[in-house]
């Protein structure tokens, strides 16, 4: 088994050597070894201490992570039929193992004895948080359930693990199964040169040189929606995109997530009720800042009320412009992005396409790194040679001013086949200092930005720049932590509705002249962003902010209400519930065939179930945090150090509300968020 690269003890996975046939044997080996070690640990009747109990358990977690983390990552960024089969074969085994741990009464009692013994008082704040969080998670794992209910709970967790993976696979397959090919670029009139080059490159990669291919990968889809003049083409591409993995559209019934969603919701409800909660929404909030579904719904409804007037004004402006300037008497869903782009160009004399030459990849990265160095007094540089999963991957390290290593990260920037859509940060290694050993944080930072085209470097839209800054904010939270215990270092142990604070905080810099001056430079001339374009870009920040806010609130309310109200006995009509939410808050209603929910991976595949509201909740925190920089001076070193110390370095070692109050000196206020979006409080 020593030839298995997944069983080599290294913090930098041997990506170039990992094959699908390595996965199952490595996972089975790690699980068996961990089970034996836990049994041995629990035979020991001595008083439980941090060093002799928590540290050995942490080492076992890390041993399993070394095996599974690279597999999970490869499944998202380099998916193949063989890897998917190996990945799915392991899901029930991992689910069973984690459920076993959560139901291990002897393990639970051992943690309790540590919490109730004299050792607990000697622990520091972060260590005590680890113990208390672990006991809470035991209760949420059903440790106190009677045997038959425990058995059922375990079955549910295993089934959910498979179903959530199936949801994502269906979406991935549906996304990559559809395309449109054209022999003549005239059919794509309006698509800018970069969009045409992307379409030409996609066709070449598919073995059709000289043709143009439109796909449902987001850069391709979005380019058509914003720029193609052919309304019928926009309708066709929009319909394919919003009906992926559903019962509607050109692939109706293929990879359909309809039944998968109901199964997920039914099982989540059953598991929550086994634990004594009325619904899954209540269970979800046990690990969040918000106290109840009602509090979340009130928070969202209040924001919706504050933003509704602005959203209605945005839509009225759009309709007027569409009728007067574009001859569109009726504004269809597939006209929205196209018309918005034209209105933005008209109002601000700014074309997003014209901005792209000023956001070349290397300049944007250098600006992001320079900003981070100025704010948080660290140094970022290219790291040593490591194995990666694709030729485009970059590897960097972060050091303190004295040269001490702080963290490292892999950067995977571009959209491509066999890679999951969206953008995310994931942990490769969490900070862990024990005895004489230090494991430094390593992050995976993943985007799906427009790739380089031919000899030209990758040129980003401003939205793609914002996405990169957002994910890097998550990365900084993970990488700059000073907490030495993985369970509460970095993003671990942070309440889910506060975890977006650093990421959304970083987005704000993309809207400041001072930060843009660091990186907005023309890729051919080195010229900075012309003053007129800069003014127009900054003025465009508030553009359709009301509509965008209500859209996020719509998704958040749908998520929370779905998990609060779902009843398999009726059963709940998911589409009807979404329509009801839209009737309450939305100013834009999509067509009846739209199946947004079938691709809502955040709540059906990812970790945002009954937690999508976290984006808005954390945006209040991030806007208010950034307001202190506006008050003190954007690059004030004392303010940067305060944010680093109170938020980034402390991870999940204390409640997020305490850390925010420490940084801001008061409770959070919604005023900064409304001001940043041009929506009066």
* pLDDT, tens digit (0-9, with 9 covering 90-100), for 630-666: 999 999 999 999 999 999 999 999 999 999 999 999 9
pLDDT of residue 681 exceeding 60, the answer is no
**So what's the pLDDT on residue 47?**
83
Exposure pattern of 232-250 as b/e (b: 16+ CB <10 Å)? Answer: ebbebbbbbbbbbbbbbbe
Does residue 563 share a domain with residue 536? no
471 is catalytic: yes
Q: Is residue 148 part of a domain?
A: no
Domain end: 86, 114, 140, which one?
Answer: 140
Q: Which helix (H) or strand (E) holds 449?
A: strand 442-449
pLDDT of residue 521 exceeding 70, the answer is yes
Residue 2: which pLDDT band, with cuts at 50, 70 and 90? low
Cis amide prior to 594 (ω within 30 degrees): no
To the nearest 10°, the Cα dihedral for 416, 420, 425, 428?
Answer: -90
Query: How large is the average pLDDT for residues 347-363?
Result: 92
pLDDT digits (tens, 9 = 90+) for 131-141: 999 999 999 99
Does residue 378 share a domain with residue 516? yes
**So what's the pLDDT on residue 1?**
44
Q: Is residue 585 part of a domain?
A: yes
**So what's the pLDDT on residue 680?**
67
Query: How large is the average pLDDT for residues 201-213?
Result: 96
Q: Is residue 638 part of a domain?
A: no
pLDDT digits (tens, 9 = 90+) for 225-243: 999 999 999 999 999 999 9
Q: Is residue 674 part of a domain?
A: no
pLDDT digits (tens, 9 = 90+) for 461-502: 999 999 999 999 999 999 999 999 999 999 999 999 999 999
Q: Is residue 645 part of a domain?
A: no
Does residue 499 share a domain with residue 400? yes
Does residue 315 share a domain with residue 230? no
Q: Which two tokens stand for residue 419?
A: 């890679």
pLDDT of residue 671 exceeding 90, the answer is yes
Angle at 28 between CA 27 and CA 32, to 5 degrees: 115
Does residue 380 share a domain with residue 337? no
Query: How large is the average pLDDT for residues 542-554?
Result: 96
Instruction: Give the closest residue to 126 by CA, choosing from 58, 194, 212.
Output: 58
Top-confidence residue, 350 or 399:
399
Domain end: 597, 612, 627, which one?
Answer: 612
Q: Is residue 159 part of a domain?
A: no
Does residue 93 share a domain with residue 75? yes
**Count of all residues that appear for the chain in the document:** 681
Does residue 470 share a domain with residue 361? yes
Domain end: 567, 588, 612, which one?
Answer: 612
Angle at 280 between CA 276 and CA 286, to 5 degrees: 70
Does residue 402 share a domain with residue 288? no
Q: With helix as H, strand as E and coil as C, how does 593-621 read?
A: CCCHHHHCHHHHCCCCCCCCCHHHHHHHH
Residue 566: which pLDDT band, with cuts at 50, 70 and 90? very high
| CATH value at residue 339 | 1.10.1370.10
pLDDT of residue 429 exceeding 70, the answer is yes
Does residue 204 share a domain with residue 94? no
Interacting residues of 345 by C-beta distance below 8 A, sequence separation 6+? 351
| CATH value at residue 429 | 1.10.1370.40
Q: Is residue 210 part of a domain?
A: yes
Number of domains the chain contains: 4
Q: Is residue 316 part of a domain?
A: yes
Q: Answer whether 574's CB lies under 8 Å from 463's CB.
A: no
Residue 678: which pLDDT band, with cuts at 50, 70 and 90? confident
| Mean pLDDT value across the chain | 96
Decide the pairing of beta strands 179-182 and 432-434.
unpaired
CA distance 544 to 245: 29
Residue span of the structural domain in which 383 resides: 356-542
Residue in 283, 427, 464, 471 annotated catalytic: 471
pLDDT digits (tens, 9 = 90+) for 256-299: 999 999 999 999 999 999 999 999 999 999 999 999 999 999 99
CA distance 677 to 104: 49
**So what's the pLDDT on residue 606?**
78
Does residue 402 share a domain with residue 485? yes
Does residue 537 share a domain with residue 409? yes
Does residue 306 share a domain with residue 330? yes
CA distance from start to end of the chain: 63
């Amino acid at each position: 088994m020593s030839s298995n690269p997944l069983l080599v003890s290294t913090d930098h996975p041997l990506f170039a050597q990992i094959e699908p046939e390595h996965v199952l044997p490595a996972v089975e080996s790690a699980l068996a070894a961990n089970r034996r070690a836990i049994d041995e640990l629990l035979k020991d009747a001595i008083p439980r201490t941090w060093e002799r109990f928590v540290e050995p358990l942490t080492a076992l977690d890390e041993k399993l992570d070394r095996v599974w983390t690279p597999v999970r990552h490869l499944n998202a960024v380099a998916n193949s039929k063989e890897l998917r089969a190996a990945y799915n074969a392991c899901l029930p085994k991992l689910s069973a193992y984690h459920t076993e741990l959560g139901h291990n009464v002897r393990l639970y009692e051992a943690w309790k004895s540590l919490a109730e013994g004299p050792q607990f008082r000697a622990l520091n704040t972060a260590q005590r948080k680890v113990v208390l969080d672990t006991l809470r998670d035991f209760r949420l794992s059903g440790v106190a359930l009677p045997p038959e209910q425990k058995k059922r709970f375990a079955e549910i967790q295993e089934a959910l693990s498979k179903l959530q993976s199936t949801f994502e696979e269906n979406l991935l397959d549906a996304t990559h199964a559809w395309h449109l090919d054209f022999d003549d670029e005239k059919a794509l009139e309006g698509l800018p040169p970069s969009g045409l080059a992307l379409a030409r490159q996609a066709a070449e990669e598919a073995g059709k040189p000289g043709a143009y291919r439109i796909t449902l990968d987001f850069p391709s889809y979005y380019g058509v929606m914003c720029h193609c003049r052919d309304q019928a083409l926009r309708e066709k591409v929009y319909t394919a995109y919003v009906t992926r993995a559903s019962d509607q559209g050109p692939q109706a019934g293929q990879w359909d997530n309809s039944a998968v969603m109901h199964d997920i919701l039914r099982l989540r409800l059953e598991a929550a009720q086994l634990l004594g909660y009325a619904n899954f929404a209540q269970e979800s909030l046990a690990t969040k800042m918000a106290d109840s579904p009602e509090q979340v719904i009130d928070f969202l409804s209040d924001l919706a009320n504050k933003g509704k007037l602005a959203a209605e004004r945005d839509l009225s402006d759009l309709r007027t412009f569409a009728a007067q300037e574009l001859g569109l008497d009726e504004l269809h869903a597939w006209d929205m992005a196209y018309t918005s782009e034209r209105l933005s160009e008209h109002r601000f004399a700014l074309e997003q396409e014209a901005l792209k030459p000023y956001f070349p990849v290397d300049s944007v990265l250098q600006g992001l790194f320079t900003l981070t160095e100025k704010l948080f007094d660290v140094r970022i540089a290219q790291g040593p040679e490591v194995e990666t999963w694709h030729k485009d991957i970059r590897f960097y390290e972060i050091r303190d001013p004295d040269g001490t290593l702080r963290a490292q990260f892999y950067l995977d920037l571009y959209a491509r086949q066999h890679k999951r859509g969206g953008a995310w940060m994931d942990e490769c290694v969490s900070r862990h200092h024990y005895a004489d050993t230090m494991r430094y944080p390593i992050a995976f930072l993943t985007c799906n930005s427009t790739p380089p085209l031919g000899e030209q470097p990758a040129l980003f839209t401003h939205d793609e720049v914002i996405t990169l800054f957002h994910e890097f904010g998550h990365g900084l939270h993970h990488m700059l932590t000073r907490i030495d215990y993985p369970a509460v270092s970095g993003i671990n142990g942070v309440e889910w509705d506060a975890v977006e604070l650093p990421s959304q905080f970083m987005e704000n810099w993309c809207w400041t002249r001072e930060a843009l001056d660091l990186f907005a430079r023309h890729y051919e001339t080195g010229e900075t962003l012309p003053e007129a374009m800069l003014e127009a870009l900054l003025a465009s920040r508030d553009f359709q902010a009301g509509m965008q806010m209500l859209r996020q609130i719509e998704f958040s309310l749908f998520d929370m209400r779905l998990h609060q109200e779902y009843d398999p006995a009726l059963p709940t009509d998911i589409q009807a519930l979404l329509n009801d939410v839209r009737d309450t808050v939305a100013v834009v209603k999509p067509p009846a065939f739209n199946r947004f929910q079938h691709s809502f991976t955040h709540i059906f595949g990812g970790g945002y179930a009954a937690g999508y509201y976290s984006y808005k909740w954390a945006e209040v925190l991030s806007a208010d945090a950034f307001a202190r920089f506006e008050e003190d001076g954007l690059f004030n070193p004392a303010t940067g150090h305060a944010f680093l110390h109170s938020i980034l370095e402390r991870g999940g070692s204390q409640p997020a509300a305490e850390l925010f109050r420490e940084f801001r000196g008061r409770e959070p206020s919604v005023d900064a968020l409304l001001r940043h979006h041009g929506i009066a409080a």
